[in-house]
Structure 1
Amino acid sequence: IDTIEVNDELQDTIEYYLAKANVSHKVNLTIGNALEVIPNFTFTYDMIYIDGEKKEYPQYLTLCIEKLNIGGYIIADNVLWNGKVIDPLCNDEQTAAIRQFNKMVQNNNQLENVLLPIRDGMMIVRKKY
């Protein structure tokens, strides 16, 4: 498991709980900006979970599709953004980016998806080819 955390102040806490759960040997923690870190990953993945900076969701999607195996899944959190994505009056940077992410998923023929309308919305995306 590879995980990215942008906030270096959380590193000790994350490492503590990984050790407490006895999974430190299974998890590679990278501290940094996901947009800079993801391109350096040399592996491809069966599952990628996105819950980062909302204004960067479209870029995350582009990077993650390249790193995702065929038949693999992207699980994206907060895709309804407290209902703001359907409110035409909400045009802040984060809402606009999540709208763009959702449209990118819908318009990409190599992807299929299901949106779970629970809490802030979660989208499960499968790479078909």
Structure 2
Amino acid sequence: MAETFLYLTLGTGDLPRAARFYDAALAPLGLVRRATEETEVGYGLPGDGTTRLWITLPFDGRPATPGNGTMPALLAPSRAAVADFHAAALAHGGSDEGAPGLRPYGPGFFAAYVRDPDGNKLSAVHLDRP
């Protein structure tokens, strides 16, 4: 994940369901669950020591809602990892927002888009670099 950000959070209304989804969908990207708390789970790179993505029940107790126009883009190590992310997300309750493929956002921009079971939009991106 980008060093520019300390962490990102996404809301959920069902933490066990969200944890199952994110455990599966993030594994192809090399991200692992680093924290499990009563109200949140956190993900990061193994051995990094930093949890960069948190899936959480809203602090204010109100329902979690997805942000319109909000979408974390997660870096993938390969095109195959993008495809595996997409497949795992769909197999674990996610919905398709764009199958794996090249996008017009730059040469070698290979991405897939999904929504998690709570409606949050996510992308996995592999950048082909010479």
TM-score by length of 1: 0.29
Q: Which has the higher helix share?
A: 1
Larger-Rg structure: 1
TM-score by length of 2: 0.28
